[in-house]
Amino acid sequence: MLEVVTSRNAHQYQDALHDMFDMRHRIFVERMGWEALRKPDRLEKDQFDNDDAIYLLLTDDDGRVIGSHRMLQTVKPHLFSDVFPQYCAVKGVQRGEKILELTRTCVDEEKLDKAAMERARKRIMVGLFEFFVRAGYGYVTMLSPVDLVFRYLLIGIDVKPLGIPVEIDGIKQVALMAPINAEALAKLREAYGVAEPQVVYLGAPEGDPLRLAPTEMPQPGLEAAE
């Protein structure tokens, strides 16, 4: 299952969020060596982990957190706008109500065997697309390894570069933007063999600004809003 967590239902997810920050520290700092993110309490958390952040937590059958995404609203401060706008120097930082910036995507490599990892990676990507479609977002921006661009394109995800590739800690990365819509979701479901809906948003108060449509059909008015 992929569980949506915002500041409005976070009270139900205190343990899960703690596990997520712990997992992010183990993966990004201890495993991948992003020393700038190292924290004394071993919880990888920064100024963007605030009330505006939206998380997707991938949980296994026992409810353990085995993967996560962090999404930031591009109309608010986010990494491309405030930390590294230079990575988007050619096309500019893309901001809008329908655009979310994706950061800190990870799957817990230490808790999963190879087959489970593969499945988790696919589920977390399909779940991301499903979330975008059902929540009415249209575009994602993200920093991605250049080597993944070819794979995105082959699956049919129409990524476009926003800037020139840069080398960060020995890995060539590039800022990308991609449309996410029902068609892209269908392609991804087919490519990854993940047919069923994955995403739930539990415990949000009545009238919550974030609503998930019950189905993946494009919502009326979405295109008009672009």
Partner 1 sequence: MQLTATAFEFIEEVDRKNDIPSLVGSFQNLIRRFGMDCFMLGDPSRPHELREDRLLASTWPEGWLNHWLSSNYIHSDPVLHQLLVRNEPVRWSKITANDEVGSRIMDEATEFRMSDGFALPIYSRDGFAVGLTMGTQHYELNRQDEACLHLASIYFHAKLEKLRAESTPRPRSRLTPRERECLTWVAAGKTDWEISQILNIAEQTAHEYVQNALTKLNATTRAQAVAIAILTKQILS
List residues near partner 1 by CB under 8 A: 90-91, 146-147, 149-151, 153-154, 160-161, 164-166, 172, 174
At 127, is the secondary structure helix, strand, or coil? helix
The Cα-based distances of 214 to 131, 188, 219 in angstroms read 11, 19, 10
- Residue 177 CB, shortest distance to partner 1, in Å, is 12
The Cα-based distances of 36 to 32, 102, 134, 181 in angstroms read 11, 19, 35, 35
- Residue 28 CB, shortest distance to partner 1, in Å, is 23
- 32 alpha-carbon distance from chain centroid: 18
- Residue 164 CB, shortest distance to partner 1, in Å, is 5
Of the candidates 44, 52, 47, 48, the residue with the CA atom closest to the CA atom of residue 17: 44
Q: Could you say which DSSP state residue 218 is in? A: P
Separation of alpha carbons 127 and 172, rounded Å: 26
- Residue 120 CB, shortest distance to partner 1, in Å, is 19
Give the pair of three-digit tokens for residue 134.
Answer: 């059902």
Q: CB-wise, 48 or 80, nearer to partner 1?
A: 80
Q: CB-wise, 54 or 157, nearer to partner 1?
A: 157
Q: CB-wise, 82 or 183, nearer to partner 1?
A: 183
Which DSSP string do the residues of 47-97 spell out, in sequence order? TTSSTT-EEEEEE-TT--EEEEEEEEETTS--HHHHT-GGGGTTT-----T
Instruction: Spell out the residues 6+ positions from residue 19 whose beta carbon is closer than 8 angstroms to its own.
Output: 64, 65
- Residue 58 CB, shortest distance to partner 1, in Å, is 24
Separation of alpha carbons 176 and 166, rounded Å: 12
- Residue 154 CB, shortest distance to partner 1, in Å, is 6
Q: CB-wise, 171 or 202, nearer to partner 1?
A: 171
Q: CB-wise, 37 or 155, nearer to partner 1?
A: 155
Q: CB-wise, 150 or 223, nearer to partner 1?
A: 150
